[in-house]
Amino acid sequence: MATVLRISGREALTITISNMTPSEVARLRDLVCSSSSGAGYEPALSVSSSPAAAQLLLHGTAAQLKHIVAAASEAGGGLAVFLQRVDSLLDNHLRSDYKIDCRGKVLDLGSRTHVMGILNVTPDSFSDGGRFASPDRALAHARDMVAAGADIIDIGGESTRPGAEPVSEEEELRRVIPLIERLGAELAVPVSVDTYKASVAEKALAAGASMVNDISGLRFSPDMARIVAACDAAVVVMHIQGTPRNMQQNPVYGDVVAEVRDSLGESIDIALRAGVNREKIIIDPGIGFGKTLEHNLTLIDHLDAFRVLGRPVMLGTSRKKFIGTILGISEPEQRVDGSAATVALGIERGASIVRVHDVARMVQVARMTDAVIKQS
Ligand code: HH2
């Protein structure tokens, strides 16, 4: 059965279709040729040489490909259903007008790139551990981030850095709930809780959070999806291979982009089955969570491959170790420029939200990148 392997690009797009039988390739080639002949341009199509692993690449602008795929699916015979699916994946890839209603606080992601400011109230986070453990400092930092342009504040009470020890539910609650009570009521922007524990999410949502950021993609706590649905919260489903304790031991993928994308598709399905509103779901490839340096770089470079899932993409690269490895910088606070490069590239490849420590600096990076890519 033919499958869409990937859609990539911003203005000039490529649709990669794989797993085709030779007769499907011939049929699709004919359909594309006849569908594009009336439209005044040559079909931009290439087929890989090996018939055993036939791959067909369709190149064109969004408008050309929309036209070809729609016309071909009308005349598609046995391939009509497949081509309708290609058409809807293409729509997903092109979509950018996402609005996320976070329990009354609305994020208009189509208007500009949004910035999520990180507030870790932990003693041991890899970058800011211990800095905001006192409630006064945490509150002041949240307010500073909003003043600097943060669109969401993400509060975490447990570090998920590689090898981190889990903390008890009681301790996590003790760290985050008083802050969420204050900030949820005070701030105009949504407060997100960074937790994979359903019980913590439930209490955080009751205390005033309006988004759950789950690094396990709704997989570590069986009740998480149900609680998100019941509270009508927004949710970030992130990809992880393994658990924070073991994820960096030997992460292995065949095709990291395809596997992370399919896993995020399954997280979306978990959410939908539990009754979560599709329009409240955000996806995140989970940079550094069960990935080697090369996996991280590949995921950033191919971030546009996640757009076919039809949900806005979040990217969390801020100050992470792979940046330190490339640049030879051991201090996370010194990795701001490297983070900026990944933020700009991530936005260019379709990220709608960037999760960062250095809000003022990254707001500038986001605004400047938006100005270049959103002018057309
Ligand atoms: N990264 C971290 C934690 N939560 N959530 C999402 N959605 N995406 C991420 O990339 C992500 C995340 C790790 O960073 P940080 O919170 O700074 O560190 P720690 O886990 O040590 O507290």
The CATH number of residue 53's host domain is 3.30.70
Cβ of residue 127 lying under 6 Å from some atom of ligand 1: yes
- Boundary of a domain, candidates 73, 94, 115: 94
User: CA-to-CA distance for 199 and 224, rounded, in angstroms?
Assistant: 8
**What's the average model confidence in pLDDT over 273-287?**
98
The chain-wide mean pLDDT, for the chain, equals 92
Q: Is-contact 258 290, C-beta < 8 A?
A: no
pLDDT band at residue 263 under the 50/70/90 scheme: very high
Cβ of residue 120 lying under 6 Å from some atom of ligand 1: yes
pLDDT on residue 376: 57
- Phi and psi at residue 375, to the nearest 5°: -75, -25
- Boundary of a domain, candidates 52, 76, 94: 94
Residues 185 and 137 in one domain: yes
Query: Residues 95-134: pLDDT tens digits?
Result: 999 999 999 999 999 999 999 999 999 988 888 778 887 8
Cβ of residue 284 lying under 6 Å from some atom of ligand 1: yes
User: CA-to-CA distance for 341 and 329, rounded, in angstroms?
Assistant: 15
pLDDT on residue 44: 66
Residue 231 maps to which CATH number? 3.20.20.20
User: CA-to-CA distance for 297 and 60, rounded, in angstroms?
Assistant: 26
Residues 236 and 88 in one domain: no
Q: Is the pLDDT of residue 14 over 80?
A: yes
Atom of ligand 1 minimally distant from the CA of 317: 10
Least confident of 79-88, 177-186, 293-302: 79-88
User: Which are the contacts of 354, defined by CB distance < 8 A and separation ≥ 6?
Assistant: 113, 114, 115, 116, 314, 315, 316, 317, 318, 343, 346, 347, 362, 366
Atom of ligand 1 minimally distant from the CA of 316: 10
| 114, 116, 126, best to mutate for ligand 1 pocket (most atoms within 8 Å of CB) | 126
Number of domains in the chain: 2
Cβ of residue 354 lying under 6 Å from some atom of ligand 1: no
Atom of ligand 1 minimally distant from the CA of 120: 22
User: CA-to-CA distance for 297 and 291, rounded, in angstroms?
Assistant: 10
- Cα of 262 to ligand 1 centre, how many Å? 21
pLDDT on residue 57: 86
Range of the domain at 69: 3-94
Residue 183, CA distances (Å) to 67, 140, 179, 203 in order: 48, 10, 6, 15
Q: Is the pLDDT of residue 351 over 60?
A: yes
pTM: 0.94
pLDDT on residue 140: 96
- Boundary of a domain, candidates 94, 122, 151: 94
pLDDT on residue 50: 63
What stretches of 35-113 adopt beta strand conformation (E)?
A: 45-47, 54-61, 99-102, 105-108
Q: Is the pLDDT of residue 10 over 80?
A: no
pLDDT band at residue 239 under the 50/70/90 scheme: very high
| CB-count exposure of residue 375 (10 Å: 0-12, 13-18, 19+) | exposed
Query: Residues 21-56: pLDDT tens digits?
Result: 888 888 888 888 877 766 666 656 777 656 566 788
